[in-house]
Structure 1
Amino acid sequence: MQSTSTASSEPALAQPAPVRRLMSLDALRGFDMFWIAGGEEIFHVLAKTTGWAWAFFMAEQFTHVEWDGFRPYDCIFPLFLFMAGVSTPFAVGSRLERGVAKSELARKIITRGLILVVLGIVYNNGLFTKPISDMRFPSVLARIGLAGMFGQLIYLYFPNPKVQYAWFAGLLLGYWAAMKLIPVPGCGAGVLTMDCSLAGYVDRSVLPGRLYLKVHDPEGLFSTIPAIATALLGIFSGKLLRSDGPSAHRDQKTLWLVLGGISCLVLGYSWGLVFPINKNLWTSSFTLVAGGWSILMLALFYWIIDVKKVSGWAFFFTVIGMNSILIYIAGEFIDFEYAAKFFFSGILSFFSEPIRAVGAVLAFLAVKWAFLYFLYKKKVFLRV
């Protein structure tokens, strides 16, 4: 892990060439991270303080489905992993074209993946030593690290598109077959409950420490298998956007993305009839549904920013996207809420309760964004 203050230095794998070559990717990454960083609290606070029906509806959309089903908020995490895949053809592909050895690239890819696993452990457990039995090892960062790592290695060592598609299909079909056909002791085969799923059983059997839901972890080891397919969907999209062949026209690329996203949604929702859409299990149907929406979001941002060149509005999100991993972990070590109260509590005290509550959330987000903007102006970015 390193920081950089040189604008001309070569981007690392965590923030690769698309930072300059694909503006829409950083904007979309920042848009995604905005909600992770606290943006969803705007609707929760509005619902709580006003009782407005539309606020309750929006607040519900920014919560996770308890088990089976899908809401927009369930797409936040897979969208981030998907974008890590989109950046791969720009970062790894450009280095391959310059003659960098595959072994060197593989070493960097694996190192980055393992660093993210370690950062995830620190994020979950802090810097102080805990008994292993009290530590949680799976994490969002670990899933991004491992799934992204294997997706990049497939891209690196299996350059034939047909083979990459075979990997994609094999991961989803193989996971489906395993979850449906392999029996779990005391439960049998194909029982997709929190207590009886194969994913939960494998994680309980092999992972040290504690699981997030005691008997199951939504970022567990076994369900990382279909998450690799999420990264591959991003890689396929990135290859299209970087291509110079018949689809080089940007409007055509946007259309292909839209068609690809719709196809994933149709297949995913259809598959969900027999293999439920479930984020906790990262089912194959969930992979396709979340991937389909992710592709459509990328198409929208790409069309507006890179095709139509309407990009001024995206600067707010680009600042966040340039340091997305940093702002994700910074809240564990920086008290942004205290800073927000210090700077804005006096002003907010003159307003009514609903305005104070919403204003407190906006102040919290403003302090975070100001912190990122300062780093952006200083050209300081967290690299992994």
Structure 2
Amino acid sequence: MSQTLGSQRLYSLDALRGFDMFWIMGGERIFHALSKATDSPFWNGLSHQFSHPDWNGFRCYDLIFPLFLFIAGVATPYSVGRQLEKGTPRQKLLWRVVKRGLILVVLGIIYNNDLRIQPISEMRFGSVLGRIGLAYMFANIIYLYTKSQRSRIIWTGSLLLGYWFVLLCTAAPGFPAGNLTLEGNFASYFDRLFLPGKLYVNNMHDPEGLFSTIPAIATGLLGILTGGFLKNSKLSPDVKVVRLIAAGAALIAVALLWNIVFPFNKNLWSSSFAILVGGISMLLLAVFYYIIDVKGYKKWAFFFVVIGMNSILIYMSGHFIDWKYTTNALFEWLTQLAGNPYGPVVFVFCFIAVKWAFLYFLYKKKVFLKV
């Protein structure tokens, strides 16, 4: 999906999306494999950062999911906004946004449960793609029916503060108000009541549940605010980069303070977590935008652009393509040649290379899965 910045393509957005998806398609396995091969404190530390905390806390791996949602928001002023400028009726755009969101929800259900027919009670309905679809949909609806950045800022703040207020003042039955444990928090209790099927964690909690989608909408809105600033501001590109860095740093500072009373928690998508990942996402976008779109250094990012252009396809592909089998069929000899302990490290690089070659073939043929 190409984006534009004025008359220019916003190449950095495709690159950042690809950078994000690189870790989903196997990039994090590099650190895990090197950690096992070397038992080095350095690689052990990186491997640790590419795993999720059990509950409270934040690690690098927690950024991947919200960064994708943030990027989807950044694209909104260049896609939906451009259609509004061309005079496309809001009702027509609303239908497109709702349809896209619901398709992602369906794809998420397929990703969780394959295409097997089974009782609803055995299915998991919460999903990464479902969370992206719903948060994207509601964030875009807010974008469609608000006319200024200020009103979208108010919406973003209201969603985050409102979510915090509800979790602060309520809890599951038998727990004191404000309880934020897995069993006692209100968001998990809400999902146990209203989310059909089984929940991901002991049927007690789902990290992609319904109620915790509320602050995820704010993550999408932070992306929309950023995209609106990049697209519509009359400031020079260099000044835009400085403003983005300042805004990102300010959000991180607010998040660190909020963390004291409302801890970082990806499972709950706590408001402090939403602000933190929004700030980091802004900083990453500022870096990619400055290097690629402002300075024009694009060639190095081609590797990531190829991934970013088919992000949904590569995410879903593992359920229909046995990538491990394919990699072994082509490169088992190379992993055997490397031997222990580095054979698994070589396998990971080959695994990623096979996936990238597949995406490159689709890129050259201009075959893109668009939702």
On the 8 A contact 2:334/2:346 being kept in 1, the answer is no
Amino acid at match of 2:211: F
On the 8 A contact 2:182/2:188 being kept in 1, the answer is yes
Q: Give 4+ residue runs of structure 1 displaced > 2 Å after superposition.
A: 15-20
Cα distance between partner residues in 1 of 2:68 and 2:189: 27
Q: Which residue is 1:90 aligned to?
A: 78
Shift of 1:18: 4.3
Q: Is residue 2:247 matched to residue 1:260?
A: yes
Equivalent residue for 2:299, pick from 301, 306, 312: 312
On the 8 A contact 2:21/2:311 being kept in 1, the answer is yes
Shift of 1:163: 1.4
Q: Which residue is 1:295 aligned to?
A: 282
On the 8 A contact 1:227/1:282 being kept in 2, the answer is yes
On the 8 A contact 2:107/2:129 being kept in 1, the answer is yes
On the 8 A contact 1:18/1:87 being kept in 2, the answer is no
Q: Is residue 2:48 matched to residue 1:60?
A: yes
Matching of residues 335-374 of structure 1 within 5 Å: 335-374=322-361
Q: Is residue 2:265 matched to residue 1:278?
A: yes
Aligned-partner SS, 2:101 = helix
Amino acid at match of 2:348: V
Q: Tell me, which stretches of 5 or more residues in structure 1 are unaligned?
A: 1-14
Cα distance between partner residues in 2 of 1:97 and 1:109: 16
Cα distance between partner residues in 2 of 1:185 and 1:106: 38
Cα distance between partner residues in 2 of 1:78 and 1:351: 37
Equivalent residue for 1:43, pick from 31, 51, 58: 31
Q: Which residue is 2:3 aligned to?
A: 17
On the 8 A contact 1:16/1:90 being kept in 2, the answer is no
Q: Is residue 2:309 matched to residue 1:322?
A: yes
TM-score, length-scaled by structure 2: 0.97
TM-score, length-scaled by structure 1: 0.94
Amino acid at match of 2:114: G
Structure 1 residues 194 and 111 mapped into 2: Cα distance closer, same or farther (>3 Å)? same
Percent identity over the alignment?
54
Aligned-partner SS, 1:165 = helix
Cα-to-partner distance string for 1:172-208 (whole Å, 9 max, x where unaligned):
0100000000242111210000000000000000011
Aligned-partner SS, 2:369 = strand
Cα-to-partner distance string for 1:333-352 (whole Å, 9 max, x where unaligned):
10111111011111222222
Structure 1 residues 226 and 337 mapped into 2: Cα distance closer, same or farther (>3 Å)? same
Q: Which residue is 2:205 aligned to?
A: 216
Q: Which residue is 1:4 aligned to?
A: none
On the 8 A contact 1:18/1:26 being kept in 2, the answer is no
Cα distance between partner residues in 2 of 1:223 and 1:188: 19
Q: Is residue 2:154 matched to residue 1:169?
A: no
Cα distance between partner residues in 2 of 1:198 and 1:110: 27
On the 8 A contact 2:15/2:304 being kept in 1, the answer is yes
Equivalent residue for 2:221, pick from 200, 211, 232: 232
Cα distance between partner residues in 1 of 2:233 and 2:186: 43
Q: Which residue is 2:124 aligned to?
A: 136
The total of aligned residue pairs comes to 368
Structure 1 residues 289 and 244 mapped into 2: Cα distance closer, same or farther (>3 Å)? closer
Q: Which residue is 1:184 aligned to?
A: 172
On the 8 A contact 2:31/2:43 being kept in 1, the answer is yes
Shift of 1:274: 0.6
Cα distance between partner residues in 2 of 1:184 and 1:349: 53
Cα-to-partner distance string for 1:83-109 (whole Å, 9 max, x where unaligned):
000000000111001110000000000
Shift of 1:241: 1.1
Cα distance between partner residues in 2 of 1:43 and 1:70: 18
